[in-house]
Amino acid sequence: MGDTTGETGAVHVPVMLDRIVELLAPALERPGAVLVDGTLGLGGHSEALLRAHPGARLVGIDRDPTALERSGRRLAPYADRVDLVHAEYDAVPRVLDDLGITGADAVLLDLGVSSPQLDEAERGFAYSYDAPLDMRMDRTQDRTAGDVVNTASVAALTRVLRDYGEERFAARIAQAIARERATAPIESTRRLADLVRDAIPAATRRTGGHPAKRTFQALRIEVNSELSILEATLPAAISRLALGGRIAVLSYHSLEDRMTKRALAALATDTTPPDLPVPLPDRQPELRLLTRGAELPGDEENERNPRAASARLRAAERVRRP
């Protein structure tokens, strides 16, 4: 997510910045250390890490060309040790190969929506603006949120809203969308937001924020294939982590956090068969977990930046090469 922003456009300090700098510091203090920021956003975390570690090199990856352009300006003082690459974050191994880099000392993944996407009304991420239903993080891809809303079956829409938005009225909203689009395509964020609000029972609309919040989140995740890309990214990024290297992942959705927990825990476990008397060297853990469960932002940070409230941070260190 990089730097986050409220829907007023006010930029906040990157989520859990101090803790991330602290967690990644031991890996980045090494001579010639390489930091891979797979979700660069506006580059707030990376800027702090480059400032703290004058010998470190950054490989900044983002799927959004607008984010790369803005972070490039922000990171200009460090340009001699920064490489910015337009790619999905599951392309970490290919990006490193293209740059002639064998391994990463630190990997950061800050998932979700970044400031450039929410700042620009025409990107169609925010229900508070009237804009085309777009939601593409990478506008070079074809499929938009409008395509999903207007062509997906009621069953598919229900699944997306239920699984990715944790929306308990998913079926009602999907049916309302189908009725509406039979008359005319649903092309704007305002029309969709109004439709969702009307589909949800009045008593429920009074609490829990904007009624369309979960629907917009679900469509964004679907349009950008966020969960399938994350599923591919975690093992790919970990595979390029040097011995003593560290990975930190900030999630903002329970499915993202569950996926991260599973990927890190699987490699932090001794897989020696239980009936053997001694641990097998090649079955020892590859990772050591650095966080006890998922760490959460403190109350002070949540007050300063309400969008941090859903953040969950997990981190691990490579202790053995397979």
On whether the CB atoms of residues 132 and 124 are closer than 8 A, the answer is yes
Binding residues: 43-45, 62, 89, 110, 117
- Nearby residues of 292 by Cβ (< 8 Å), 6 or more positions away: none
On whether the CB atoms of residues 24 and 30 are closer than 8 A, the answer is no
What phi, psi does 84 have (nearest 5°)? -110, 135
Q: Encoding tokens for residue 121?
A: 């009304």
Among residues 1, 151, 10, the alpha carbon closest in space to that of 62 is found at: 1
Q: How far apart are CA 55 and CA 31, in angstroms?
A: 6
* Alpha-carbon distances, residue 112 vs 1, 197, 226, 250, 312 (angstroms): 5, 23, 8, 9, 12
Q: How many C-beta atoms surround the C-beta of residue 174 within 10 A?
A: 25
What phi, psi does 171 have (nearest 5°)? -65, -40
* Alpha-carbon distances, residue 124 vs 66, 82, 120 (angstroms): 15, 30, 8
Q: How many C-beta atoms surround the C-beta of residue 283 within 10 A?
A: 12
244: left (phi over 0), alpha (psi -120 to 50) or beta: left
Binding residues for S-adenosyl-L-methionine: 43-45, 62, 89, 110, 117
Q: How many C-beta atoms surround the C-beta of residue 190 within 10 A?
A: 15
Q: Indicate the SS3 state at residue 118.
A: helix
Handedness of CA 42, 44, 45, 51 (dihedral sign): positive
DSSP run (H or E) holding 10 = none
Q: How far apart are CA 313 and CA 322, in angstroms?
A: 25
